[in-house]
Amino acid sequence: MKPFTKMTGVVATMDRANVDTDQIIPKQFLKRIERTGFGKFLFFDWRYLDNHDLNPKFELNRPEFSGASILVTRRNFGCGSSREHAVWALTDYGFQVILAPTFADIFFNNCFNNGALPIALSEDEIETIFQKVEQNEGYQLTIDLEKQEISGDGGLSFSFEVDPFRRHCLLNGLDKISLTLEQEEKILAYEKAHDPSL
Amino acid sequence: MNISPDGESHSTISKPKEDASQTTECSQPKTMCQKIWENHVVHAPEGEQTLLYIDLHLIHEVTSPQAFEGLRLAGRTVRRPDKTIATPDHNVPTTDRSLPIIDQIAKQQIETLRQNCKEFGVRIFDLDDIRQGIVHIIGPELGLTLPGMTIVCGDSHTATHGAFGSIAFGIGTSEVEHVLATQTLPQFYPKTFELGIEGELSPGVTAKDLVLYLIGQIGTAGGTGYIFEYTGSVIRSLSMEERMTVCNMSIEAGARAGLIAPDQVTYDYIRGREFAPENFDEAVAQWKKLPTDVGATYDRSEKFFAEDIAPQITWGTNPGQVVDVNAKIPSPGDYSDEVDQKSAAQSLEYMGLSAGSSWQEVEVDRVFIGSCTNARIEDLRAAAAVVKGYKISSNVQAMVVPGSGQVKKEAEEEGLDNIFQEAGLEWREPGCSMCLAMNPDKLEAGERCASTSNRNFEGRQGRGGRTHLVSPATAAAAAISGHFVDVREWNYK
Ligand code: SF4
């Protein structure tokens, strides 16, 4: 996994609550057996019209959001299915950071396992960012995971917290399976203690 | 301090984890969740996630291919193929199984599962095996799901298995790979939330109505960061299948898992099943130690009363947007919070409903009886009892998709297939089918469906499709009437 330390990027806003993973990546794209190439299907049902043209009414299709790498949205983002394809679609599209008041649990975990950073801010802080983006075309934020700080033009500065272990893994791009395999002796001891036939 | 997805900091949650790393001789009362957790701690380093041992890993064709590919690339093996069980369910056609699968990509995914199982030595219940079915239906049915276990699957409805008193939760594909490689998973200790339901459900009010009601009360994110434990006289009176329906939908309130304490109902259900423990009485003696001790505290507790619960119907595009069958369709103005108002307006528009209308006015085009929530034998019996002696409305297309090969066989032995077919409902092969519409079973844009599944998200059953979540009896009654009705007033023939 690629380490995540600090990034600056254009912010796209999506003024919707309870965005579920069925919307993020509709099921017809779950039949692929690779991890890559999901970006073009991100928010498929909202993003494209029936004739497959871009839907001009969908927020992310606003020209000023092109190349955005930070997504700001409302509460309970990523609810629903456990499909990691949702995170693969977001990262493949170019999003590295997602800001929302709250996230659904499995989605939240899945992000960290793919080097993406979900950050929970207060409703007020999210609202402030929404306003900044509306008032300033191409508004950018800088996300500093080391310092746990978000900053942007106009004196915007928020701090956030990520649990230390997840932060450590993300900062160093650690492979969790390798970390766990370092505990082989403990796993074996557990298995022996619980299954005497081994 | 841990930061959970709800953004709150919970300095208290690390506590039980620290306790868990020590020996468990203290006589403090414990919750069931805590006991199961402690029994599975492999390694609990200070300030980090606890490494939990996983007893049962269920896999299916959609969320596993990338995990196996990851193993292959890293030169890893499946650590415990004997604790891993696979079945294809999400993508499988529910029509004649002797015909080749038309959808080439779906076919490739199912074949990939087959090959991966072969290569890594994992047992698979394939399409030609009567034990094939929706992964959350076959686990319990085969006696694989047992009290006290930790169970994971790359599917959010894994919570179903919690009905047996096991910590069972859905995981992403990276975690599937992690469990395949190590048989463990790093996890934070969850908060616990007791939902106590007292009283008695009225006739015609089912486990599905109960859980929809609870989600409506708590909200779709109300359980985020928690493991639910359902308690109270109502839960004790439910059959195992009904308990599974309740636990199944825990995720729809944001909780990753939902637990119910095992009791005699649980033991009687498990006894004699194919993979049930051989020394059964010994196992029961262990299971009896699991229920939450008197005096143990949960992080949160709420009480609900069965008498308040009527048959439920969702009107919106998340399972928390639900009302009684006798209530009017709500209006955005009924909500005080601005975000909820906006969501309600978006949902009503998508669903093509007008605020203030009654359910009797809402006509349905399709009826789907199936899914891991409601495709077990008792669900099919309940639906069959409603349609028996009737014909479905001429405007309605309806199908019944049993949850597994065994459910299908049992239903056919009881003649339920004939009752459905005589009433004009289609009788299908087992699978997820129109619950998520990955196979050809799907809604057309604008079609309205009474569905016994668990998600009414936009497009879930087909792009532009409109899903109303209901119980099997309510779905069956809608098929006959052509619109929603209060099934408590049904004239059974
Ligand atoms: S029936 Fe539906 S919810 Fe259940 S496992 Fe299948 S797709 Fe998921």
CB contact under 8 A, B155 and A81: yes
Whether A79 is covered by a domain: the verdict is yes
Q: Which two tokens stand for residue B380?
A: 């099919």
Q: Which residues contact B43 (CB under 8 A, 6 or more apart)?
A: A183, A186, B50, B51
Shortest Cα–Cα distance, A176 to chain B (Å): 8
Quick: pLDDT tens for B160-203.
999 999 999 999 999 999 999 999 999 999 999 999 999 999 99
CB-neighbour burial class of residue B295 (10 A; exposed 0-12, middle 13-18, buried 19+): exposed
Q: What is the DSSP string of A6-70?
A: EEEEEEEEE--SS-BHHHHS-GGGTT--SSS--GGGTTHHHHB-TTSSB-TTSGGGSGGGTT--E
- Across the range B452-468, mean pLDDT stands at 95
* Spatial distance between the Cα atoms of A17 and B315, rounded to a whole number of angstroms: 17
Pocket lining: B344 vs ligand 1, CB cutoff 6 Å = no
Share of chain A above pLDDT 70, in %: 98
Mean pLDDT for all residues in chain B: 93
* Neighbour-count burial for B106-136, b at 16+ CB within 10 Å, e otherwise: bbbbbebbbebbeebebebbebeeebbbbbb
pLDDT of residue B94: 85
* Spatial distance between the Cα atoms of B472 and B453, rounded to a whole number of angstroms: 9
Number of domains present in the structure of chain A: 1
B93 vs B329, more confident = B329
Q: Which residues of A touch B155 (CB under 8 A)?
A: 81-82
Helix (H) or strand (E) holding B123: strand B123-124
Mean pLDDT for all residues in chain A: 94
pLDDT of residue A62 exceeding 70, the answer is yes
Quick: pLDDT tens for B254-276.
998 999 999 999 999 999 999 99
pLDDT of residue B12: 32
- CATH number of the domain to which A27 belongs: 3.20.19.10
pLDDT of residue B22 exceeding 60, the answer is no
The closest CB to that of B460, out of A22, A105, A110, belongs to A22
**Residue in B with minimal Cα distance to A36:** B66
pLDDT of residue B8: 43
Whether A41 is covered by a domain: the verdict is yes
Beta pairing class for A70-73 and B366-369: unpaired
Q: What is the DSSP string of A138-172?
A: T-EEEEETTTTEEEETTTEEEE----HHHHHHHHH
Q: B218, B228, B225, B229: which is closest to B253 by C-alpha?
A: B218
Domain that holds residue A21: 6-194
Q: Which amino acid is at B3?
A: I
CB distance B482 to B364 below 8 Å: yes
The closest CB to that of B43, out of A35, A121, A186, belongs to A186
Beta strands in B62-113 (DSSP E): 84-86
Q: Which residue do the tokens 């190439």 mark?
A: A37
Using DSSP's 3-state secondary structure scheme, residue B181 falls into helix
pLDDT of residue B422 exceeding 80, the answer is yes
Pocket test for ligand 1, best of B436, B455, B461, B469 (most atoms within 8 A of CB): B436
pLDDT of residue A160: 97
Whether A87 is covered by a domain: the verdict is yes
Q: What band does B26 get if pLDDT is binned at 50, 70 and 90? A: low
pLDDT of residue B11: 35
Whether A1 is covered by a domain: the verdict is no
pLDDT of residue B404 exceeding 60, the answer is yes
Is this prediction's ipTM beyond 0.85?
A: yes
pLDDT of residue B19 exceeding 70, the answer is no
